[in-house]
Chain A
């Protein structure tokens, strides 16, 4: 009976074709999986680089705003106002960390984000003429000012950056108007 069954070749072609089909499908699936992995890695690499350039670009803008713009102006005025309000001739103080944030608007900036932005610094201010509301001149020194944030692209790939600055400057005050001179912002390091 067994011998007869083995010798009977009827219906054998379908199992053979099915077996070949399974082998071919497995090979195809493996090739597809590898190719898909390559493309995925390539896209992820691109997104990671995009997150890096968001961080780098943002840092450039912040750097300009600290050295020649509004953020730097605001920080040194915070320190000077604090000296005036204290009524003392010298004040040393640690500031922050201030929870800050950044946003982007413009064509092509969808998916750009900056999170966990922190700004902190140490200040040392010294009156050189007058004090309190009669302060006429003062030196302001800012040390260890850290600006840090995490850039994100499409809410996933991220890149963290921290920059450290220092500042020295001199302020003259006349009728409430402040004039700044002999001032230098220094980028100590960035990582």
Chain B
């Protein structure tokens, strides 16, 4: 029975108008996608140009502020200079407007905490040199049991390595070392700096049951005990009742 369906199929397959429609739709879609892409490119380019323009204008202002030192203070820090085996610590004021950071010497005095830390680190540095035999004004390497800071500033006191360690400190560190009592002692198979914070004992003074700190030169941390003693200005401890290791000394806060 002829239903006429074959005639419809024949007509559709012969009809080319649908191809043009599909082609137009595909072209339109491609065009829209490309247009969106190009618009995004142009917009981001405009944004970049604007950013560069703002950045250039800001930079001019930043440079003026930095040259005239008018940028606001944003914090403080330290510049460390190592020269001739010595470490010099300079406090600085950090300033910044928005982009350019600069700094200048901080004119105020160092805190007790800073000076204490620096002095301990510096004594440890000189002692390492003494053990290696490279500390100026000494003969050979240090192999003894202790170095005592009492009278270290006096070259005629016969202190030897103590005088050499003391002499190698900076002026600030020397005066800090003068304000405390310190000894480098070999205990527990290693050397530690024992010190009494905040008091200097002369070679004529003794004391016992006092607070003595122990500075570990490797970890740069501190322990204290109330069972410390001073004999003729030389610092020792009973070796018991030590606190846990700390990064700071209470008396220097």
Contact = CB atoms under 8 A, between A and B. Distances in A.
User: Secondary structure at chain A's binding surface: helix, strand, loop or mixed?
Assistant: helix
Contacts of B198: none
B35 to A, nearest CB: 7
A34 B104 CA distance: 38
B55 A49 contact: no
B27 A17 contact: yes
Given A39-B48, A74-B170, A105-B80, A57 B104 contact: yes
B66 interface: yes
Interface residues of B, number: 63
Contacts, number: 185
B79 A35 contact: no
Contacts of B171: 70, 73
A96 B14 CA distance: 97
Contacts of A60: 104-105
A65 B82 CA distance: 12
Contacts of A24: 34-35, 38
Contacts of A177: 153
B94 A107 contact: yes
A4 B104 CA distance: 84
Given A10-B20, A13-B24, A39 B51 contact: yes
A3 to B, nearest CB: 19
B86 interface: yes
B88 A106 contact: no
Interface string A66-88: 00011101100010010001000
B88 A71 contact: yes
B103 A109 contact: yes
A32 B16 CA distance: 42
Given A14-B27, A61-B90, A102 B79 contact: yes
A74 B37 CA distance: 66
Interface in B133-162: 136-137, 153-156
Interface in A1-39: 10-11, 13-14, 16-18, 20-21, 24-25, 27-29, 31-32, 34-36, 38-39
Contact of B66 (A29, A42, A53): A53
A175 interface: yes
B132 interface: no
B49 A38 contact: yes
A166 to B, nearest CB: 18
A62 interface: yes
Contacts of A31: 41-42, 45
B85 to A, nearest CB: 9
Nearest to A16: B27
Q: Tell me which of A29, A35, A69 has the highest count of chain B C-beta atoms within 10 A of its own C-beta.
A: A35
A154 interface: no
Nearest to B66: A53
A49 B38 contact: no
20 contacts: A10-B20, A10-B23, A14-B27, A25-B38, A29-B41, A32-B45, A36-B45, A38-B52, A46-B59, A64-B105, A65-B90, A70-B88, A71-B88, A73-B171, A74-B86, A74-B170, A98-B83, A100-B81, A106-B76, A112-B101
Interface of A: 10-11, 13-14, 16-18, 20-21, 24-25, 27-29, 31-32, 34-36, 38-39, 41-43, 45-46, 49-50, 53-54, 56-58, 60-62, 64-65, 69-71, 73-74, 78, 81, 85, 98, 100-109, 112, 117, 119, 175-177
